[in-house]
Amino acid sequence: MDEMNIFETAPSFPVIPLRGLVMFPDMVLHFDVGRKKSVAALKAAMNADQKIFLVSQKDAAVDEPGLDDLFGVGVICSVRQMMRIPGSENMRVVAEGDGRGALMAFVRTKPFLSAVVQPLEEPEDQLDPDRANAYRRAVKKELEHYAEMVPKISNDVIAKVLAYQENGPLADYICSNTFMDYADKQDVLECLDPGERLRMLLMLLSKENTTLEIETELHERVQAEIDKNQREYYLREEMRVISESLGEEDNPQEEADGYREKIGKLRCDEEAKTHLLKECDKLAKMPQGSHEATVVRNYLDKCLEIPFGTYTKDNMRLDRARKVLDKDHYGLEVIRAEIGEGAENVWVAVHDGVRPFVSTEVITACFDQAKIKGAVVPALPVVDSLREVGPEGKSKPVDRSRYYAVHTPQVFRADLLLRAYTQDYSPLFTDDASVVEAMNIPVDIVPSNRENIKITTPLDLVIAKALLGE
């Protein structure tokens, strides 16, 4: 059928443009009409016992829409009820959708819009029964999830949806009872194929549910943060009132705020500031005279005394360092001079001052073995299980029989030790034995005594007292 024949055979209807609304077949729509042309179109339809054509505007802000301002597909409707709103010229309308129609052309624009509308017949559903059933089940499931997040969806709507067995009417009914964007609803309206319409609705519902889930999560996070801030404000105000009631001059919150102000002026990194501010929060919640508050207060005071951002100029002059060392550590040159050329016949023991329980037998054994080997350390086999941690934090067991815990005194032939001290520094130097070993000189091991402990912790002091019989 050519265009002329369509215009000759297609009926014309008064047109009412909808702002932000989309009508569907079999849908009952309650809406208000205020524009003069739309009121005139309603009156003309009622006087002529004629149906109306409801079509959505592309832009709701347009007051005088033309053909290009309207979507190409709308719904031919019957007016079920029309009444004037008291105190105005506006009309309240109840309309029921009969079927889809294609907007062809305007036949008049004054005093109301009237257009040639081509009724659109719904084609036969091409989906096979199994696939159609799968789509319906998926759509109904998505709608149930949608209704959980949108309380405005009534149980009656859900019940009616569950009863639908035809794809096209099901898609139309769900679209008409959800709060999706009107442009998405228009896309569904313009889709004539029932199966494709249902598939399109499934995609839109899934997208809408994902958006609602994200919005819900964001809302809960924001609400939780608001609740936290409100709770903290309430507790701080409560503490202030209690302090005032008790006649306490000092206010923990004011004190904490004072610290916060000082911390804000520090020239340190944000990580350090964040840590210090957490301590301020603790202080604000503590009684003024409590032991815990005193500890926190002292900690903050010490941190505030640190000269963040203030640097000294390093003096790297080795000659000056030598003078300072010679002045403060006198006597080494005398020892060197006494050793003289016979350093190969002198043995030196380097002992850790925090190991006071080394036995005479161990010292003697170290010197005796050093006269043979040149370099000796006392050590004991490791009794704990050992694990090696890799670069990614993964660990694996190692053979502990290969490992010893090194003690002191470490005994060396003097010439070896003096020569070792002339080497450049290495981060691998952990003791004198490691310095000597860096010259490819092997270091021998003699058994140490178990009591030769290193006193570095309070527990070590307890053990030391036990060894002394105290």
Q: Nearest CA to 137 among 170, 112, 101, 114?
A: 170
The Cα angle at residue 56 between residues 55 and 57, in degrees rounded to 5: 125
Same domain, 376 and 286: no
- Final residue before a domain boundary, out of 119, 135, 155: 119
Decide: helix, strand or coil at residue 118: strand
Q: Nearest CA to 439 among 423, 451, 457?
A: 423
Same domain, 23 and 81: yes
Q: Is residue 21 one of the residues assigned to a domain?
A: yes
Query: 463 Cβ partners below 8 Å, 6+ apart?
Result: 453
Same domain, 298 and 353: no
- Quick one: tokens of 463? 């053990």
pLDDT of residue 444: 95
Q: Is residue 178 one of the residues assigned to a domain?
A: no
Report cis status (omega within 30 of 0) of the bond before 11. Answer: no
Same domain, 351 and 287: no
pLDDT of residue 236: 65
Question: Taking a C-beta distance cutoff of 8 angstroms, is the pair 260, 280 a contact?
Answer: yes
pLDDT of residue 13: 93
Whether the per-residue pLDDT at 287 is higher than 80: the answer is no
Same domain, 349 and 289: no
Side chain identity at residue 126, one-letter code: Q
- Domain containing 100 equals 3-119
Count structural domains, the chain.
3
Pairwise CA distance, residues 96 & 78, whole Å = 5
- Final residue before a domain boundary, out of 89, 119, 149: 119
Pairwise CA distance, residues 24 & 324, whole Å = 95
Residues making up the chain, counted from first to last: 470
Decide: helix, strand or coil at residue 90: coil
Exposure string for 255-268, b = 16+ CB within 10 A, e = fewer: bbeebbeebeebee
Question: Taking a C-beta distance cutoff of 8 angstroms, is the pair 100, 175 a contact?
Answer: no
Q: Is residue 362 one of the residues assigned to a domain?
A: yes
Mean pLDDT of the chain: 85
Q: Is residue 64 one of the residues assigned to a domain?
A: yes
Confidence of residue 243 (pLDDT cuts 50, 70, 90): low
Pairwise CA distance, residues 433 & 24, whole Å = 90
Question: What does pTM read for this prediction?
Answer: 0.47
CATH number of the CATH domain containing 406: 3.90.550.10
**100 CB-contact burial (10 Å; exposed 0-12 / middle 13-18 / buried 19+):** buried
3-state secondary structure 318-365: HHHHHHHHHHHCCCHHHHHHHHHHHHHHCEEEECCCCCCCCCHHHHHH
Q: Is residue 25 one of the residues assigned to a domain?
A: yes
Pairwise CA distance, residues 209 & 147, whole Å = 10
Same domain, 353 and 450: yes
pLDDT digit string, tens, across residues 49-68 = 889 999 999 998 888 999 99
Q: Is residue 137 one of the residues assigned to a domain?
A: no
Same domain, 263 and 349: no
Whether the per-residue pLDDT at 298 is higher than 70: the answer is yes
pLDDT of residue 98: 92
Q: Is residue 130 one of the residues assigned to a domain?
A: no
Q: Nearest CA to 411 among 374, 442, 383, 448?
A: 374
Same domain, 293 and 403: no
Q: What share of the chain is helix, strand, coil (3-state, %, to 5)?
A: 50, 20, 35
CATH number of the CATH domain containing 18: 2.30.130.40
Same domain, 85 and 13: yes
Same domain, 102 and 22: yes
pLDDT of residue 115: 92
Same domain, 377 and 272: no
Q: Nearest CA to 283 among 292, 275, 274?
A: 292
Which has more confidence, 470 or 269?
A: 269
Question: Taking a C-beta distance cutoff of 8 angstroms, is the pair 140, 162 a contact?
Answer: yes
pLDDT digit string, tens, across residues 361-381 = 999 999 999 999 999 999 999
DSSP 135: H
Same domain, 58 and 7: yes
Q: Is residue 139 one of the residues assigned to a domain?
A: no
pLDDT of residue 340: 55
pLDDT of residue 3: 47
- Final residue before a domain boundary, out of 119, 134, 158: 119
pLDDT digit string, tens, across residues 207-239 = 988 888 888 888 888 788 777 777 767 766 666
* Strand ranges in 155-199 using DSSP code E only, listed in sequence order: none
